[in-house]
């Protein structure tokens, strides 16, 4: 199993551009999450999904959109990128029904908006 994969690893955007961060997991997990990690800070939840077709906002959803058309994929869309969105983005997944709370993380995407 590859676990949780994220692409790209790095990206530089200009203000106002848009992009999609890709996230795929091959563990058949029902829950998936998107976090951002700002320098010197812990993670903040952007969006999460409890299954295909179901998404919900986390703590910091503004400026982002998500979709969950399949169990495996959970892309994060940035529309009209702003410097405040410069951060490292982590995708994670977990299986609710297994060991509660054990989230498996991808390697992260470092995004810079200039």
Bridge partners (DSSP) of residue 10 are 110
CB-wise, 45 or 82, nearer to another protein? 45
- Interface pick for another protein out of 34, 48, 64, 74 (rule CB under 8 A): 48
Q: What is the 3-state secondary structure (H, E, C) of 2-70?
A: CCEEEECCEEEECCCCCEEEEEEECCCCCEEEEEEECCCCCEEEEEEEEECCEEEECCCCCCEEECCCC
Residues 72-91 that bind another protein (CB under 8 A): 88, 90
Residues 1-30 that bind another protein (CB under 8 A): none
Give min distance, CB of 33 to another protein, in A. Answer: 8
Does residue 96 belong to the site contacting another protein (CB under 8 A)? yes
Does residue 67 belong to the site contacting another protein (CB under 8 A)? no
Helix (H, G, I), strand (E, B) or coil at 82: coil
For 92, the token pair is: 């994670």
Q: Which residues bind another protein (CB under 8 A)?
A: 31, 33, 40-45, 48, 58, 88, 90, 92, 94, 96, 99-103, 105, 107-108
């Amino acid at each position: 199993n590859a676990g949780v994969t994220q692409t790209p690893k790095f990206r530089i955007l200009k203000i106002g551009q848009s992009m999609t961060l890709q996230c795929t997991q091959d563990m058949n997990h029902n829950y998936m999450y998107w976090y951002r990690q700002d320098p010197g800070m812990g993670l903040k939840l952007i969006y999460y999904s409890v299954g295909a077709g179901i998404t919900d906002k986390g703590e910091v959803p503004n400026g982002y959109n998500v979709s969950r058309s399949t169990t495996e994929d959970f892309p994060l869309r940035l529309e009209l990128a702003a410097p405040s969105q410069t951060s490292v983005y982590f995708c994670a997944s977990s299986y609710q029904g297994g060991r509660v709370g054990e989230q498996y993380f991808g390697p992260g995407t470092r995004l810079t908006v200039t």
